[in-house]
Amino acid sequence: MTPYLDRPYREGVGIVLLNPAAQVFVAQRLDSAEPAWQMPQGGIDPDEEPCVTALRELKEEIGTDAAEILAETREWISYDLPPAIADAIWKGRYRGQRQKWFLMRFTGADAEIDIATGHPEFSAWRWAEFESLPELIVPFKRPLYEAVVREFLPPVRAFRDAWARRPA
């Protein structure tokens, strides 16, 4: 097995999915005994554009791709898996992930969300406040979530403000 520090990062995407009230979709990982809420994310297939991957991952993980892309991170954001976890998943090939994140507006209805997919990853889901995301994630991913919140905070606030000003 390749030594941990010599392993590459797996390329992937992450999705910040906003409902009309500017709350974010989060789901509890099925494979974690501790609270481990996260947003949909996954690996990029060969020759696949990240924006296509993001919509595919939504469909695979939450049963719907009813979403519109509002923004994407300027840069790729990486995180390292703890070495014991890195050795156990992805056949020990990767040190962590390098991700492009997308801010999306959910255009469907909550009833369309179905986490009981063909290969379920989550045991529960809910809408959460955007700024609370770093507190919900496993500690080793916290710096990544903090970076996503910093970058997307201005468009999320604008989205929230627009929703608050909508006609009743």
Q: Residue 168: what pLDDT?
A: 65
Residue 135 has pLDDT above 90, yes or no: yes
DSSP string, 127-147: EEEGGGHHHHS-GGGHHHHHH
139-159 mean pLDDT: 96
The rounded Cα 39 to chain-centroid distance in angstroms is 3
pLDDT in tens, 29-77: 998 878 889 999 999 999 999 999 999 999 999 999 999 999 999 999 9
Superfamily (CATH H level) for 4-164: Nucleoside Triphosphate Pyrophosphohydrolase (3.90.79.10)
Tokens of 30: 């099925």
41: nearest Cα among 68, 23, 61: 61
Structural contact between residues 95 and 9, judged by C-beta atoms closer than 8 angstroms: yes
Assign residue 91 a region (left: φ > 0; alpha: ψ between -120 and 50; beta: otherwise).
Answer: left
pTM: 0.93
Residue 155 has pLDDT above 90, yes or no: yes
- Which phi and psi (to 5°) does residue 120 adopt? -65, 140
In the beta sheet, which residues pair with residue 23?
129
Q: Residue 35: what pLDDT?
A: 83
